[in-house]
Amino acid sequence: MSNAAILLDPFARGIAVGAMAAISLGVWRSRVSRQARLVTTALGLSTIAWLITESWPLWAAFGHANLLVVAAYPVGGFFWLFIATVFDDRPLRPSMLTPPALLLALGLVMGAAPPSALSVYWMLFNGASGLFVLHAGFIVLRGWRDDLVEGRRQLRVLILGLVALFAITQVVMSFLARLDPLGPWRLFTISAPYGGTVLAALILATSTLFLQVRPVAFGGSRRGEPQPDPRVEAVDRLLVGKLDEFLTAEGWRREGLTIGGLAIELEVPEHRLRRLINNRLGHRNFADFLNASRIAAAKQRLADPREARTTVAAIAFDLGYGSLGPFNRAFRAATGSNPTEWRRGALGAPPNLRDSG
């Protein structure tokens, strides 16, 4: 390894630490939701600690502080949490802290493990980190097509997808370096100059977008009826009428309906349909748009005494859900309780009422 590469490493990491701090501060001072600020700041601080502790010269400059090591352990879990809350619009609940908490616990056990058991705990820790980051990458790709916020769609592909790919690659290379410490891949791990430089470049690229944070990219969904606007184009008025007809005809019941399929059915460009549903109806993704009608219909049926014997699963399938899980999550997000609990309250049923759904 050249002396230039060795000298470049702390310089690149220092710039990345500054950029990550700027991202966290920019998000914290913006008008985004409290949830987005907390999650982004936690990820920023953990990433900074990770950058420092993976570089021996930088870590030595901080006196080999154990606090930095502890803060770096859950970075993969915080990355998953950031993707799930900010880009998948999931509400921040205590259960969602499980990934960073698990990595923190594994890291602490690994740090206190005897040398004979260190390899086992190291594999568990890095394997769990890789799985969380891999699932975060899956969330990024899965939600891209249905995301109605154009800026967020670009972030998914151009930045966050690359960051997830880099993190997954780091886990793989760490295992390879463990098996063969002299292999060429060791130069591209996060603890080596080349790996640190690549990560620094990704963080700098991300900072150029995140330093100009806009509430529209990080805020919550805004459901509501479209407001009359005399300046709206005639073609958008026509499209609003077509959407109203679609909703009235209960087209949202169809399982597997996509934004692209609806655009073809309404004979409009997909980008125009995305913009209309996001800007005028206030929905951040296509599933949110469909769920607004589906959950309203579900509440009506769950509160109907004549439907008391209809299972929750049967109602979910009839409303266009392919399985019970997505329906339960959407219902809880909209009402704060699961369908069975909500039905009991609506019908005034005793708590031990059993639902076969």
Residue 316 corresponds to which amino acid? A
Contacts of 263 (CB under 8 A, 6+ apart): 269, 270, 273
Rounded CA gap, 16 and 160, in Å?
16
Q: For the chain, how big is the Rg over CA atoms in Å?
A: 24
Give the burial class of 22: count Cβ atoms within 10 A of its Cβ; 0-12 exposed, 13-18 middle, 19 or more buried: middle
pLDDT tens digits, one per residue of 249-289: 999 998 888 899 999 998 888 888 888 888 878 888 898 89
Residue indicated by tokens 């990491």: 13
Q: What is the pLDDT of residue 294?
A: 94
The answer to whether the predicted template modeling score (pTM) of the entire model surpasses 0.85 is no
Q: What is the pLDDT of residue 214?
A: 55
Residue 285 phi, psi (nearest 5)? -150, 165
Q: What is the pLDDT of residue 13?
A: 82
Residue 179 corresponds to which amino acid? L
234-347: which CATH topology? Arc Repressor Mutant, subunit A (1.10.10)
Tell me where in the chain the CATH 1.10.10.60 domain(s) lie: 234-347
Q: What is the pLDDT of residue 223?
A: 45
**CA nearest 187: which of 178, 175, 196, 179?**
196
Return the bridge partners of 285, or none: 147
3-218: which CATH topology? Rhopdopsin 7-helix transmembrane proteins (1.20.1070)
Tell me where in the chain the CATH 1.20.1070.10 domain(s) lie: 3-218
Residue stretches of the chain with pLDDT short of 50: 213, 220-227, 229, 231, 354, 356
Contacts of 265 (CB under 8 A, 6+ apart): 246, 251
Rounded CA gap, 76 and 124, in Å?
13
Question: In terms of residues, how long is the chain?
Answer: 357
